[in-house]
Structure 1
Amino acid sequence: MDFLDVYQHDPDQLPLDQFKHAREKEAYFFTLEEIKNSQGEGPVRTTPTGYWKAYREDVPIYHDKDQIIGFKNKLLFYRGNDPNGTQTDWKMTEYVCSPSLIATTSATTVESYVVCKVRQKMRVEEDEPLSEEEYGFIEGNT
């Protein structure tokens, strides 16, 4: 998995075809976590021609259904300027490690990074019921 500042690129400019271990039109990247805006509200996730907007935030990820090991945020990409952009078929999931699992000596470094899964929703896909992964359970640890 490569490091790439996904917020410096529009999703259709990301090298999705270079990631060998994902579905078609999907890739994973390490990126720096965006800081909150000047009003102290949500992170700034703007790109050259649009922005990522969260629709589910801080969904816990569990190990053995009782220990929170991280969180995920689900975002949609909009073309244009917030709040008047046009929704596209691009989705992102940010995965963040739980601060309680990070040693204090490495916390500032690890807390600065997130793993982003970026994918283009295929036109024929329908919204499906949430899977255990969507609810935050890790496969094999239930």
Structure 2
Amino acid sequence: MENNMYDNNNNNNVLPLGYRFYPTEEELVEFYLRNKLDGKRNDIQRVIPVVNIYHHNPSELPEMAGEVIKHDTEQWFFFIPIQDREARGGRPTRLTTQGYWKATGTPGFVYSSNNNRIIGGKRTMVFYKGRAPNGKKTQWKMNEYKASTHGEPSLTNNHITNLKLQHEFSLCRVYKKSKIVRAFDRRPAGSGLLLPPNQPLINNNNNNNNNNIGTSSPSREIIQPMGNYNDLSETPLWDFEDWNFI
């Protein structure tokens, strides 16, 4: 890991050298996105800021990442506000000044680890340079997550058309396609405990080796040491054209 990721003289840094932001899909949806939608936990902004990524090209996004994980070299997380045309029932615009994001594949879901209840939807998009239909595919990809509405009953795969999602904000993970299986790709779809309501999201004490973001389990931290992984090709797992499960 680069030595400049952590400055011992900067008291605002909260990640010890060799550690990274390492959430499960369940934590992204049920903790980060849910608290954002409910207007809770203002400190989440330091980890995942609000950025309309469609106003920017992918190469500009790493510099806009949250201050806590700004120096991650593999993936960056953002909350995307709903677009005006989407709020009026239309489809969102995914054009940037240099290209466009295109959804690919089939629908996906995020499940609770406690009871396998569907807690949200997910999709993957790929960035193309230029304009459709002649755009050039790039290595930039995005996983976008939306949370189900409050009180949504437990759903099975036979009743997925009944799933209702909240659209005020979505949460996205932006990254570049790689032949190396990274820590995020190796994680189970739903695992780990959610942070207790009264526990600080961020610990500003650099001398505390138990700094963590989002999880309070002694057996599994949401920030984990980085490591080397086998050289395997990456396959998109969750993609769909829009958020209607039809």
**What TM-score comes out, normalization by structure 1 length?**
0.71
Cα distance in 2, alignment partners of residues 67 and 4 from structure 1: 29
- Within the alignment, does 1:139 sit opposite 2:213 as a pair? no
Q: Distance in 2 between matches of 1:90 and 1:53?
A: 11
Q: Percent identity?
A: 31
CA contact (8 A) 1:10 1:48 kept: yes
Shift of 1:125: 3.7
Max radius of gyration: which structure?
2
Unaligned stretches of 5+ in structure 2? 1-47, 153-165, 194-246
Q: Is the 8 A contact 1:73 1:94 kept in 2?
A: yes
Query: Which structure has more helix as a fraction of its residues?
Result: 2
The 3 A distance-change label for structure 1 pair 51 and 140 is same
Q: How far did 1:82 drift?
A: 1.4
**Residue 58 of structure 1 corresponds to which residue in structure 2?**
107
Pairwise CA distance, 1:47? 0.7
Candidates 141, 148, 154, aligned match of 1:91? 141
What TM-score comes out, normalization by structure 2 length?
0.43
Residue 15 (structure 1) aligned to one of 43, 48, 62: 62
The correspondence for 1:45, drawn from 94, 113, 133, is 94
Q: Deviations over 1:80-122 (max 9, x none)?
A: 11121000010101110112548xxxxxxx5221111111224
**Kindly tell me: are residues 26 and 49 of structure 1, through their superposed partners in 2, closer, same or farther at Cα, counting changes over 3 Å?**
same
Higher RCO (C-alpha under 8 Å, 6+ residues apart): 2
- Letter of the aligned partner of 2:171 in structure 1? V
CA distance in 2, matches of 1:95, 1:120: 17
Deviation at 1:66, TM superposition (A): 2.3
| Ranges in structure 1 where 5+ consecutive residues have no aligned partner | 103-109
Cα offset, 1:73, TM superposition: 1.0
The amino acid across from 2:74 in the alignment is: K
Distance 1:52 1:116, change over 3 A: same
Higher relative strand content: 1
- In structure 2, the CA distance between the partners of 1:77 and 1:101, relative to structure 1 (3 Å rule), is farther
Q: Which amino acid aligns with 1:66?
A: N
State the match for 2:171 in structure 1.
Answer: 115
Count of aligned residue pairs for this structure pair = 123
